[in-house]
Amino acid sequence: MSEQTEMSAIKKKVLSTGIRVGTDVKTKFMRQYITESSPEGLYMLDVDITLSRIKTAAKFISRKDIKRVIVCSGREYASTPIEKFCECTGAPMMLRRFMPGTLTNPSLPFYTEPHLLIISDPQVDSQAVTEATNAGVPVIGIANTDNLTSKLDLVIPANNRGRKALATVYWLLAREILIQKGELTEDQDMKYEIDDFETKIKDIEEDEDDDFQKKNYTSRF
């Protein structure tokens, strides 16, 4: 299968996932990735650019020691996609709250020195982005139409709010990395499908219940 044919097949597969659906706001940083607005007033992202950027990101990531590539996100819907991505690629992850000083304070027990940071939302993950910038660590970020991307080294324009859309981006990125490393061919199927990368509502509810129980337990003492 030619690369062009493969890209067409992938494009057809992901168009129904909402990956290109943005918000009703566009920033000057994201204007170049927008093709049109929907009848509902939402800006639509160029999926061809998205797929191209994912390929570029995968090439860059593949040149790094994957154990020094940190994938982080404070966004709930990104939890399962990142967990599956890290399972497939071997990259370490940081989920939920990014602890201040993680990349900038060597005296902290959780201090780390990654070679690359991948984030799911420049706004939600702003602490991680700021610290990476200060530490000279390049940042790859998934950005929606309303995001500010001045501190990102590589932007992957995509819907970073939807469960299915986030799952799709991380599935595509994991797949492309495996192809770049020779662990998967263009016409081979991955171990997981996009649905396997998607955070389910019940998982979020269970996490919220656990958090509530922990807070309730702690408040007794």
Give me the average pLDDT of each 10-residue run along the chain (221 residues): 65 89 96 93 96 97 97 93 97 94 96 97 97 97 97 97 96 96 90 94 56 42 39
pLDDT at 220: 42
pLDDT at 209: 47
Boundaries of domain holding 104: 16-206
Taking the C-alpha atoms of residue 108 and residue 124, their distance in angstroms, rounded to an integer, is: 23
DSSP collapsed to 3 states, 57-102: HHHHHHCCCHHHEEEEECCHHHHHHHHHHHHHHCCCEEECCCCCCC
pLDDT at 213: 43
Count of the separate structural domains present in the chain? 1
Q: Is 219 part of a structural domain of the chain?
A: no
pLDDT at 15: 87
Q: Is 9 part of a structural domain of the chain?
A: no
The candidate with the shortest Cα–Cα distance to 112, out of 67, 75, 79, is 67
Q: Is 90 part of a structural domain of the chain?
A: yes
Q: Is 145 part of a structural domain of the chain?
A: yes
Q: Is 220 part of a structural domain of the chain?
A: no
Q: Is 124 part of a structural domain of the chain?
A: yes
Residue 151 belongs to domain with CATH number: 3.40.50.10490
Q: Is 95 part of a structural domain of the chain?
A: yes
pLDDT tens digits, 3-23? 565 667 788 888 889 999 999
Predicted TM-score (pTM) of the model is 0.88
Q: Is 217 part of a structural domain of the chain?
A: no
pLDDT at 204: 53
